[in-house]
Structure 1
Amino acid sequence: MRLAPGVFLGGMVGTGLRLGIDQALPHADTDFTASTLIANTIGAFILGWLVAGLWTRPGLPAWVKAALGTGVLGSFTTYSAVMVSLVALGAAGFPTLGWIYLAATLLLGFGAAALGLQLGAQLRHRVLPDIPDAGSTL
């Protein structure tokens, strides 16, 4: 339960960022949802970078992982929106566009995560300032 405030606050940040992308790239229900594709690709890259780099650092407080991973990125990326888009595209008579959208989501997501993991691994060897663990008692 001590991690909940970090996840909650991180979720607010991620949701706000996601809303910003959706407002910058509006779309109809039957359109190719570029905002979702962009958010999920960025989120996959950042999570890969964090997992390979920051998460591996000794002494990183659990609240930081929870706030950034589950909170910010969990609310920023929305793979459930991909499924809704696929169903909407199929129902609107655009199943081929749906398959293209799914393929793009998977290819870009896996590619971004792999790149994030690779770049994050380079972070392991850099000296970073300590993050105090006082927040773990939130």
Structure 2
Amino acid sequence: MKHTAKAHPRTAGAAHDRSPGWHAWTAVAVGGLIGTELRYGAGLVFPESAGTIPWTTLAINVLGSFVLAALTTVWIARPKTAFWLRAGLGPGLLGSFTTFSAVVFALDQQFNAGFQTSWLVYLGLSLVLGLGAAAAGWKAGKAMADLTGRAL
């Protein structure tokens, strides 16, 4: 009977290992810090008031939808983009810059203050503009990838 050694699960397929490693963890932490500070700063520069559309939160989330879609489209064309870079910019920077919790918080504030009209308008704008920005970001990312000869 021939004995065959089994590869250890941690070392098998090491080239395909998806463990993030310390580079990715650090990139997410640094990106998260930057994204959080950018969001906080935008709120200080452009404060929101009850009873009005939370324009700052809306603008941040629409911008983030566009940028994330564009970057993701470029990364699909360039699958060898460093994992730490994708993690730092995606979930790190943009994940902390754009947060669904801010949308929910703004909706809750609007609704509980009795501003159902602005609540409904804000909800609709968030969905329509967010999806539109993501579609535009996808087109922009595709154009960037096409310019460099990496068609999708």
Query: TM-score, normalization: structure 1?
Result: 0.86
Whose Rg is larger? 2
Q: Kindly indicate whether residue 41 of structure 2 is the aligned counterpart of residue 20 of structure 1.
A: yes
| Matching residue of 1:77 | 98
5+ unaligned residues in a row in structure 1: which ranges?
129-138
Shift of 1:30: 4.5
Query: Is the contact between residue 55 and residue 65 of structure 1 (CA under 8 Å) also seen in structure 2?
Result: no
Whether the 8 Å contact between 1:54 and 1:123 is mirrored in structure 2 is no
Bigger Cα displacement from structure 2, 119-128 vs 52-61:
119-128
Pairwise CA distance, 1:55 = 4.1
Does the CA-based 8 Å contact 1:48-1:114 persist in structure 2? yes
Q: Give unmatched runs, 5+ long, in structure 2.
A: 1-19
Whole-angstrom distance in 2 between the partners of 1:38 and 1:60: 28
Is 1:114 matched with 2:122?
A: no
The residue number in structure 2 matching 1:123 is 144
Q: 1:112, CA displacement in angstroms?
A: 0.4
Alpha-carbon distance in structure 1 between the residues aligned to 2:103 and 2:114: 17
Q: Does 1:59 align with 2:80?
A: yes
Q: In the alignment, does 2:32 pair up with 1:11?
A: yes
1:97 matches 2:129: no
Residue of structure 1 aligned with 2:64, choices 39, 43, 47: 43
C-alpha distance in 1 between matches for 2:26 and 2:40: 21
Are 1:33 and 2:49 matched, yes or no? no
Q: CA deviation at 1:125?
A: 2.8
Structure 1 residues 21 and 55, CA gap change in structure 2 (3 angstroms): farther
The structural deviation recorded for 1:16 is 1.4
For residue 91 of structure 1, what is the amino acid of its counterpart? N
Identity of aligned residues (%): 38
Equivalent-residue separation in structure 1 for 2:54 and 2:36 (angstroms): 17
